[in-house]
Structure 1
Amino acid sequence: MSDFTLDLTPRGTLAIDCVTNGPITTNTYFAVSGDEAVIIDPAWDGVELARQFALKHPGVRVVALLCTHGHADHLGGVAGLRRVLGEQVPYLLPVGDVETVGESIQKQLRSWDIDTPDPGEPDRLLNEGDVIEVGDARLQAFSVPGHTRGGMVYFAATTGGNVAFVGDTLFPGSHGRTDLPGGDEATILKSLAKMARLMPADTLCLIGHGPTTTMAREIATNPFMQG
């Protein structure tokens, strides 16, 4: 068992908007702290995401485009966002999912005839324990492989409560697919147990597709988190 732990000291504030878009309704999150923001899982139409962000948060500067994992439906908007916001906005990806990106883009083209814009090379590769600063808040990265080889959760302890961006690792009452390249059922079950161990029960879990949940609810009711 890893000896990794999270810093649970509340720091800063984080206001979160969810934009659901694309043919499989991916949740993209605008996480704002003061005059800075990160866009998490920038999916599908990046130009439209940039337009919506500007309407919702005028004057706020995007400091990073942050992906929970390397699937095409979670990063297809990177290129469009950078075209609007500028190439200086860094694109961050889990280190273990570098190869996943190209594989997933090709699979999406073959399976759905959807041509996903190439996000390009990541500006920063994230490892477990890395921190992404936004305003006065801190997102802490930790590894949750199983849906992909390199999936990450981004956890923030804020003055308004604990929140985690969990991508496609956890769903209410279930977990993400493990039948795609890089997926593994036994590994994702270990990742779910790790999430339950690391994150407080009151943590609000923001999901890659569909509604939010909490760690307490999942620990009590999710059959894949029992025992």
Structure 2
Amino acid sequence: MSDEYTGHVEPDGDWQDRTDGHLFVRKLSVEEFDNNCYVVACTRTREALLVDVAARPQRLLEALEGFSPVAAVQTHGHWDHVRAWEGVRDAGIEVWGHPGDAPLFPHDVDRELSDGERLAVGDVEVEVLHLPGHTEGSLLYLAHGEERPHLFSGDTLFPGGPGNTFGNVDNHRRVMDGLETQVFARLPDATWVYPGHGDDTTLGTERPHLQEWRERGW
């Protein structure tokens, strides 16, 4: 993989690219809430997914130039992650997401995604992980490169802990249970984590803090 990738991008600034075998990842941030959006693509076929239609549809479409979009896939339905829905959809790109967030989405999704589905993106297989808590329909997306797994975690996992569950004790427990069983128990420390806002992290960096997160709540 390229040593030039840092995982830090400025809102509406330059994007960063990295390649790990047949997997290509482009990271960019849009607007004042520092929403991260990602292009996840196959280096051979140039087929791609766009992760989150957060904002700045023209900017997202620019990031997709040279690729053949399969779809845009949503990590969840909070308003700051769906503001470019119409612009992306009007460009002919379907938007997919989990039905649990249907009340939050501005429109019906073109395809409902469920836990365990595997999306073919050329030679890249992207696994859908349903991990509710931050929202009922929160999804993570897992792809494997030659060197490491790559996990697009939305607002479910950040550097320093899980996403906000707004004081709901049951939802915090659900997030922690899901992270421990579906993510940390099955994936290695080298797994690279791409969150919905801010800088990247790895599972190895975050693993020692799981019990601390569970006890503190959020």
TM-score of the aligned structures, taking structure 2 as reference length: 0.80
Partners of 2:187 and 2:26 in 1: CA distance: 22
Q: Does 1:28 align with 2:15?
A: no
Q: Deviations over 1:51-73 (max 9, x none)?
A: 2332xxx2x21111001111121
Select which of 196, 213, 217 maps to 1:224.
Answer: 213
* Residue of structure 2 equivalent to 1:104: none
Q: Deviations over 1:168-216 (max 9, x none)?
A: 01111122111189x8222212122122113222110110001111111
Partners of 1:82 and 1:126 in 2: CA distance: 17
Q: Does 1:98 align with 2:102?
A: yes
Report if the CA contact (8 A) 2:150-2:191 is conserved: yes
Instruction: Report % sequence identity.
Output: 29
How far did residue 30 of structure 1 move?
Answer: 0.9
TM-score of the aligned structures, taking structure 1 as reference length: 0.77
Higher helix proportion, which one?
A: 1
Report if the CA contact (8 A) 2:48-2:121 is conserved: yes
Aligned amino acid, residue 53 of structure 2: P
How far did residue 19 of structure 1 move?
Answer: 0.9
* Residue of structure 2 equivalent to 1:46: 57
SS of 1:99's equivalent? coil
* Residue of structure 2 equivalent to 1:111: none
Partners of 2:198 and 2:59 in 1: CA distance: 20
Q: Does 1:203 align with 2:210?
A: no
Partners of 1:67 and 1:170 in 2: CA distance: 15
* Residue of structure 2 equivalent to 1:169: 156
What is the CA RMSD across the aligned residues, in angstroms? Answer: 2.1
Select which of 70, 73, 84 maps to 2:77.
Answer: 70
Which stretch of the first structure deviates more once superposed, 64-73 or 92-101?
92-101
How far did residue 154 of structure 1 move?
Answer: 0.8
Partners of 1:211 and 1:172 in 2: CA distance: 7
Contiguous gaps of at least 5 residues in structure 1: 1-10, 102-117
Report if the CA contact (8 A) 1:92-1:124 is conserved: yes
Q: Does 1:13 align with 2:22?
A: yes
Aligned amino acid, residue 62 of structure 2: R
Aligned amino acid, residue 163 of structure 2: G
SS of 1:63's equivalent? strand
Q: Deviations over 1:125-184 (max 9, x none)?
A: 111111111110011011111101121111112224210101001111122111189x82
SS of 1:198's equivalent? coil
Report if the CA contact (8 A) 1:31-1:37 is conserved: yes
Partners of 2:23 and 2:100 in 1: CA distance: 27
* Residue of structure 2 equivalent to 1:212: 200
How far did residue 41 of structure 1 move?
Answer: 1.1
Report if the CA contact (8 A) 2:41-2:124 is conserved: no
Report the number of matched residues. 191
Select which of 114, 125, 129 maps to 1:127.
Answer: 114
